[in-house]
Amino acid sequence: MIALEYFLLAGLLVCAAAAPLFRRLLVTVIVYTAFSLLLAILWALLQSPDLAITEAAVGAGVSGILYFLTLRNIHAMKGTHDV
């Protein structure tokens, strides 16, 4: 359990450091979502499952979707059909 916690913490650091370094905003949002997912597992390990559920739903789900929608609306997403 402790080893898993250290692994997750290292993953958090890597995600946090990597997120601003990518040039494509889409990749940044995906890395941010991964950060939230790792944090959700960490909350569950720290015995606060209610926070874990909320973090997974809000951090990884809803805010990621809102970022994707914003990127689509400002035409910053490659691969979607822009007319």
Query: In angstroms, what is the minimal distance from the CB of 69 to another protein?
Result: 4
Residue 35 and residue 39: Cα distance in Å, rounded? Answer: 6
3-state secondary structure of 73: helix
Which stretches of the chain bind another protein, using CB under 8 A? 48-50, 53-54, 57-58, 61-62, 65-66, 69-70, 73, 81-83
Query: In angstroms, what is the minimal distance from the CB of 24 to another protein?
Result: 20
Query: In angstroms, what is the minimal distance from the CB of 81 to another protein?
Result: 7
Asked whether the CA dihedral 71, 81, 37, 8 is positive or negative, the reply is negative
